[in-house]
Structure 1
Amino acid sequence: MGSRRRLTDSFRCAADGVVHALRTQRNMRVHFALAVAALVAALLFQLSTVELALVFVSISFVIAAELFNTAVEAVVDLVSPQYHPLARIAKDTAAAAVLLAAINALVVGYFVFLGKIDPWMLRGLQELRRDPVYVTFIALGLTMAVGFIGKSRHRVYNYFQGGMPSIHAAVAFCLATAIGYITWNGMATLLAFLLAGLVAQSRVEGGIHTLGEVVAGAVLGVAVAAVLFSLIQG
């Protein structure tokens, strides 16, 4: 009974370590998200047993390296709260192990998925050319993603209230540009841009954004939609 309890305690402690790393380490959350995406892609592309094993081992290698890096950082901070060259070497070396594991995963993913992505992308591109609504959704998603990244660089704590650029303006002008490409109707496009302008104006008048932030959002939305429609349906 005692050995069984010790075994369950070991599993619980290991799980606590993983949870701690996920809560405190941004890179661990990124690795987990990419791991889930890779496993979903493996199922979609119906990888062989060997290919699936390679992907799984590569994922495990990256996660284990990140856990090792987290443990090293915790121990170094405990024994050397103040800066010390040896402490820096320990942390840098552990981080290098994570980098090496990530590079290995990228190489494995490249060789495993390369031959399967090309036909899939070709079919997807044909679908996008047939239905511009898909392109619009991709443009909106990319516009919002770039906007969130821009705000995170400026340390904005509320992504929908203020900051550079204005995501509301970006989305509005992205939609207006998409309407122009879809309809090729001058009146419809003009009305769409007028509505987008009203959205931008409301953000400035409400004191939520400055004029520069709204203009940056508008340029972002127009640029993303124009580039995507030109590349995919041009």
Structure 2
Amino acid sequence: MAKFHVIVPAAGVGARMASAVPKQYLPLLGKPVLAHAIAACLQHPRISSVTVVLDANDAYWPSAGIPPADKLRVLYSGGATRADTVCNGLLALDAELHAQDWVLVHDAARPGLTITLLDRLLDSLQDDVVGGLLAIPVADTLKRADVAQRVLNTEPREHLWQAQTPQMFRYAILRQALAAARLNGTPTDEAQAVEALGYSPKLVAGELRNLKITYPQDLPLAAAILQADQQA
């Protein structure tokens, strides 16, 4: 039976946060963002392993206060790009993964992932040939801007979705997709690399709570969501 493994690329610096500390280590309700991001994966009984891939010179993890766990491993082998970092994680897992095993790639700066969302993703894709990703339909009107930030035109939002993570693909397909992507360009996510091979990943309904910490204003929003969980 195919197993489920999670890779968390956490080698980035999060420049748009304008913070001296990488955003995955920013404090969020007494824990680093990264601790919240991997919590549901560590707790989920169907997840076999969680691999966090850090920058080779990461100096934050030892003092981050993230406790060890049987299914958690940490690698100091992050690359120059997200694709490089995920590839390095896949290489480290190569001896224990089979072609049909599932790899879920989850952003280190998405602290709102829940077991419910993971269940939805696993249940929707476990029998799929390719895999897919959590995503939400675009609700806002989209404007395309020129260099002066004036509207060029309004883009139709029908059939548009905003990608989230985890993004879940068969190991063999993801390995092939990222290897090809590193030669042909830099994909912004794993789904784009898989699409370039001619596959059509499946979209699985995510939730707004699964937001990515990108700008400073995202942090208090994430805190409010997690606090509401605690009070429920």
Give the TM bin, normalised by the shorter chain: under 0.3
Structure 1 or 2: more helix by fraction: 1
Per the normalisation by structure 1, the TM-score is: 0.24
Q: Which has the higher contact order (CA 8 A, sep 6+)?
A: 2
Structure with the greater alpha carbon radius of gyration = 1
TM-score, with normalisation over the residues of structure 2?
A: 0.24
Higher strand share: 2
